[in-house]
Amino acid sequence: MKIELVFIPSPGIGHLRSTVELAKKLIGIDQRLSITIIIIPHPSYKPGDNSGDSAYIESLSTTTTTQDRLRYVSISVADQPTGVPLPTQVYIENQKPKVRHAIAKLNSPKLAGFMVDMFCISMIDLAKEFGVPCYMIFTSNATFLGIALHLQLMYDEKKYDVSDLDHSVTKLEIPCLTRSFPVKCLPYLYSSKDWLPLYVAQARNFRKMKGILVNSVPELEPHALKWFSGGGCGGGGDGDLPRVYPVGPVLHVENDDSQDEKQSEILRWLDEQPQNSVVFLCFGSMGGFNEEQTKEIAVALERSGHRFLWSLRRASPNIRTEPPGDFKNLEEVLPEGFLDRTSERGKIIGWAPQVAILAKPAIGGFVTHGGWNSVLESLWFGVPMATWPLYAEQKLNAFTMVEEFGLAVEIRKYFNGDVMAGDMEVVVAEDIERAIRRLMEEESNVRNRVKEMAENCHLALTEDGSSKAALRKFIQDVAENVAA
C-alpha cells in the first residue's frame, strides 16, 4: 500500500529545514511513503536572491530524491502591503487558496494526511476538504507544548487569564513540569493582552490534530512526555490530548560546503585553539543588542580571561519590520582599547555558521538565546549553555534547561523584557562574567550532564533508538488510519 503525505511548513529557514530533515527521516524508514512539501515563502522572499531563505528554497527546487518520493512545490506569494507585517498565523491563513490549488494539482488518490507546522494549523480546514487526517509538527519542545495546552484549558474552562495576573501570583502549577513555574518566565506572547487570545486559539486547534510530532526525546523530557502518554490516547491528564510522537532531535548538521573565505577563516582559527577553551556567543536571527548592552558583554568577556568567539549584531530599531544588522564601526560601540587588548584570544564576527562552530572541539561553552534549534544543536555536540532568552518561548526554555534538566547555567534568574516588545532590560557585566566562568568550568555537573545528554541524543537516532521507534509508530498509525 502506497502512502502519501503533504507537509506544510511555516515560512522561515528554521522551520523549513526542520521539516525537510523530518521528511527525509520518514521516507528513509518506509519505502511505501511519499511526501510532498508545500513551501510557503517568507513575505520578504525574492526569487533569484542567493542569500538566506531564498537560496535554500532555490536549492530545494533543484533537488532530486530516490524514486522521487520527496518532492517540493513552492507556491507564489503576492507582494505584501507595507507597514507592520501580519502575524504568521494570519499570513498563513491568507495562503489557503494557493495551497489548496497546489494540493489539488497533485491529483493523488493515495493521500493519507496533512502534516502541518505549529503555525500552519489553520490548514486543518483543507485537510477536512480533502477528507484526510491532519497531524502537526511541533518544532519546539514537549514542555512548551504541554504548557500551551494547559494555559488554554485554564483560559477556556476556568476563565484563568495569565495576561491579567497581579503581583500576588508568582508561580503556576503546571502538570507537565516537576516544579512550580515562575510567572516571570512566561513568554511575552502569553503575558501580553494583545497576543494571548491568538495563542490560546492556536492551542485549541492543537487538540484537533490526529497526532503531534515533537522535536524532542524521552531522555531529555521524561516528565512532560510521560504526562502526554497518560493524558492522550485514552489516559487521564489535561483534557483530550492527541498522541505525541517524540521524534527528535531533528537537526540539519551537515557541513555547508559553500562557506565563504571569512567563514572558513573563523573555522581555521578555532582549529588552532585548545580543546574546550573558547566561549561562543550567538543569539539567533532576531538577536541584537544596543550599544550599552554591547559594552557590558565586552567588559564581561575581557574580565573572564577566556578565549571567545562573539557573533555580534546591532539591535533592530523595529524587529517587526527590520532584522538585526552589523555595527558599522566596532570601535565606537566597544570599550576603548578592547579590540587591541583581546586580539590574541578573541574574535568578533557578524553572522555565524553556528552548527559548524559548535562542532569544533575548541568550543567549551555557548552563550545562547535558547531557541529550541540552538538548544538541540548545543546538546548534539555536547556543549554546555548559558541561557539568555530574548523572545518567543525562550524564557521557558531557559527555565527548563537550568532548573528542570540541569543542562545549562543561568546568567540571571529572571529576564525582564522581550525583543518583540522592544523593552529588553540591560544585563550587567558582573552577571555575564559570573555565568561565563561557571559555564567554562572543566568538570562541572552541567558539563558532565550535557555530555551524557549528547550520547542520549545520538542513541535516539540509531536503529533501535527512541526517535526511530516513534517514527515507525507514526507511520504505522497513518497506515492504519488509511486502512480504516
Taking the model in full, what pTM does it have? Answer: 0.93
What's the pLDDT at 235? 35
Other CB atoms within 10 Å distance of the CB of residue 89: 18
In this structure, of 76-90, 97-111, 230-244, the range with the lowest mean pLDDT score is 230-244
Distance of CA 5 to the CA centre of its chain: 23
Q: Which sequence spans correspond to the domains of the chain?
A: 3-253+461-483, 261-457
Q: Which of 171-180, 250-259, 345-354 has the lowest mean pLDDT?
A: 250-259
User: In which residue are the cell numbers 525562550 written?
Assistant: 394
pLDDT, tens digit (0-9, with 9 covering 90-100), for 200-233? 999 999 999 999 999 999 999 999 999 998 743 3
Percent of the chain residues topping a pLDDT of 90? 78
**Overall fold of domain 261-457:** Rossmann fold (3.40.50)
pLDDT at 258 over 60: no
Alpha-carbon distance values, 304 to 131, 189, 311 (Å): 60, 35, 17
Band (pLDDT 50/70/90 cuts) for residue 234 is very low
Helix (H) or strand (E) holding 135: strand 134-138
State the pLDDT confidence band at 45, using cuts at 50, 70 and 90: low
Per-residue model confidence (pLDDT) at position 305: 97
pLDDT score of 63? 62
**In this predicted model, what pLDDT tens digit does every residue of 346-392 receive, in sequence order?**
999 998 999 999 999 999 999 999 999 999 999 999 999 999 999 99
Contact assessment for residue 128 and residue 96, using Cβ atoms and an 8 Å cutoff = no
Rounded to 5 degrees, what are φ and ψ at 215?
Answer: -85, 70
C-alpha cell at 54: 531564498
Q: Are 445 and 215 in contact (CB under 8 A)?
A: no
Instruction: Give CA–CA dist 106/104, Å, rounded.
Output: 5
Class of domain 3-253+461-483: alpha beta
Distance of CA 101 to the CA centre of its chain: 29
CA–CA gap between residue 177 and residue 404 (Å, rounded): 8
Over residues 318-330, the pLDDT tens digits come to: 887 888 999 999 9
Is residue 80's pLDDT more than 90?
Answer: no
